[in-house]
Amino acid sequence: MSEADGKDPLVYIHQLTHRITRLLKALGRLGECESCHAEVYWMLTKNSKWLPYDVTGVPHFSTCPEADSWRKKKGAKEVEQRR
């Protein structure tokens, strides 16, 4: 989208964000982040795993201030396999 198209990019982004939010509300399960208590929508991925999304449609792991506390440490899988 460019101004040459006659459409304001900010309006387009706002409309897209609104559509994503409506989709999350329709298909996702409303919940709360256990760390930062933000409102999230849980969506089932194609790998059958639940992933939290912010109301803007962004995966919550990319915006949560406590995201690092939920990540597995590198090498943890190797340690578990050696046991």
* pLDDT tens sequence across 22-49: 888 888 889 999 999 999 999 888 899 8
Helical residues (DSSP H) of the chain, grouped into ranges: 9-27, 76-82
Residue pair 53/28 in contact (Cβ under 8 Å)? The answer is yes
pLDDT averaged over every residue in the chain: 81
Tokens, residue 60: 């919550």
CA angle in degrees (0–180, nearest 5) for 69-75-33: 20
How many folded domains does the chain comprise?
1
Q: Answer whether residue 83 shows pLDDT above 50.
A: no
Say which residue the tokens 């990540």 belong to: 71
Q: Please tell me the distance from the alpha carbon of residue 81 to that of residue 78, in angstroms, as a whole number.
A: 5
Q: What is the pLDDT of residue 23?
A: 83
Q: What is the pLDDT of residue 1?
A: 45
Tokens, residue 63: 């915006």
Which domain, by its residues, includes 9?
Answer: 3-82
Query: pLDDT category, 67, cuts 50, 70, 90?
Result: confident
Q: Please tell me the distance from the alpha carbon of residue 19 to that of residue 81, in angstroms, as a whole number.
A: 43
